[in-house]
Structure 1
């Protein structure tokens, strides 16, 4: 399964590197801020794919003496720093695009520029469909998230195609305007990365629905009479869960222990959960 899960990420990394290289070469060759910004957007997708690859690698790395709860926090830390860098890149692109419009700088759009943009749209849409298919087949949120980055890049290339097309038809600011729009795409991508990973780094609680699923799974175990003091927080991109269960007073210590182990196993089957810590309380005796 691991081999299959890596395939769409490698396709993403190689495909985006090639597309970014083609866009940037064409952009610098013909002074197109739109193609340059779209090339940077493709490079941002390379980064997210690499993060996804490292995320899978890191999550499979066992805890050690220096990191007794694993290494999962490294993934959101790197992602957060990358999100910060993307904001700077988006600012520089947006500033250059606005500067070109204010200075009235005009470029000549040619068929090579249009062909590169159309190629980008077609390739990114194909990569999106392939990654979504594999992600849903393997139920991998990392692969599915990576797929939607392909769709985002395809949409930014549509904006570039529109800008270059309008400029070829006579609107002199088409290229600069398209570059500014792609810069806004980059700002959105960077803020999404930052906000998501701040939550992971600061121990944010999971959504209400996840907590309810944890309670449901605990209560589905025979002889679990109640659940209380449920606490869950992200350690990296995975959850650590702590909860108390109530069991009947007539059970032996071994029976109560076996119940707690079954509750732990059922909770750890939830995709987002890394570890569950279950405390046993005797109904009507302990709290």
Structure 2
């Protein structure tokens, strides 16, 4: 059974929520002081960071890996749903960046008034975002939390947005190039979109019960266990490295229940060693049910 890391995940989310609120407040202040639409748009993008943290706190509280009567397979899809919510926020952020850039091209804007004080504030914001992104990603990988990994990816998109805005403002401050903010917004929007697409690719297989492990690989592993005669009708779902569910029909070289049980336990141990954490359901059949159909859809 997978270890419950929800308390640690929630502590990380609370800390990053506080830092993201600070970052958002600084950006709003700088945008107001300078009259920079790009900084205000960046502050709007930062709103999604805080919303993601709140979403993560809710979903991680629901994603208990321990099964109960109503959820015998655990609750981990709640966390995957939370990660998909972050993908939606990334899409909204991408749209807002593009809308702001196009609006400035078509309608123009007042000149941006920027000084060293505002630039230093944005550098401090950049440092906070980088810390949050790497901290969340490190903890998320250590405990296997998709919500932290997805939120770290979103925060990295905010890092790129801030770098773009900061670069544009430096150009405005040093060279008077007011158009730099707009030009740099388009590649940043693309990076935000790609981050959201990556989150979707990582979490959709979990939600739609896509095959987690090639049935041929499971078959080869099981057939190496002494006493196994045949293994067929193999199915798997979940996410490898997070938690997988494996089902199969098994024929064993045994004439009594005790021996058959010992062989199936050896199979479970081998599969958990190779693909765990895993929950495995084995249906033992008599010898005449032997089949060459490894998985469903094989002919």
TM class by shorter chain equals 0.7 to 0.9
CA distance in 2, matches of 1:84, 1:71: 21
Deviation digits for residues 156-194 of structure 1 (CA, Å, limit 9, x no counterpart)? 322222111112222111223344444333333333334
Q: Distance in 2 between matches of 1:25 and 1:46?
A: 17
**RMSD value, Cα:** 3.5
1:201 alignment counterpart: 207
Bigger mean CA offset, 162-171 vs 16-25: 16-25
- CA contact under 8 A between 1:38 and 1:182: conserved in structure 2? no
- Offset, 1:107: 1.9
The Cα shift of 1:118 comes to 0.9
**In the alignment, does 2:250 pair up with 1:245?**
yes
1:137-152 alignment to 2 at 5 Å? 137-138=142-143, 142-152=147-157
Return closer, same or farther for 1:77/1:128 CA change in 2, 3 Å cut-off.
Answer: closer
Distance 1:134 1:92, change over 3 A: closer
SS of the equivalent of 1:258 reads helix
Secondary structure at 1:279 match in 2:
strand
TM-score of the pair, normalised by structure 1: 0.77
Task: Classify the secondary structure of the residue corresponding to 1:166.
Answer: helix
Distance across 1 between alignment mates of 2:219 and 2:172 = 58
Contact 1:86 / 1:186 at 8 angstroms: preserved in 2? yes
Tell me, in whole angstroms, the C-alpha distance in 2 between the residues paired with 1:262 and 1:21: 57
Q: Equivalent of 1:44, from 40, 43, 48? A: 48
| Distance across 2 between alignment mates of 1:175 and 1:122 | 20
Determine which of 65, 75, 79 is the counterpart of 1:71: 75
Q: TM-score, normalising length from structure 2? A: 0.75
Match of 1:258?
262
Q: Which residue of 1 aligns with 2:161?
A: 156
Matched residue, 1:184: 190
* Distance in 2 between residues matched to 1:215 and 1:140, nearest whole Å: 29
In structure 2, which of residues 82, 90, 95 is the aligned counterpart of residue 91 of structure 1? 95
Structure 2 residue aligned with 1:12: 16
What is the DSSP-based 3-state SS (H/G/I as helix, E as strand, rest coil) of the residue aligned with 1:35? helix
1:206 match: secondary structure: coil
How far has the Cα of 1:265 moved from its partner?
Answer: 5.0
Aligned length: 283
Mapped partners of 1:151, 1:60: distance in 2 = 27
- 2:137 and 2:149 in contact (8 A); partners too: yes
The verdict on how the C-alpha distance between 1:283 and 1:156 changes in structure 2, with shifts beyond 3 A counting, is farther
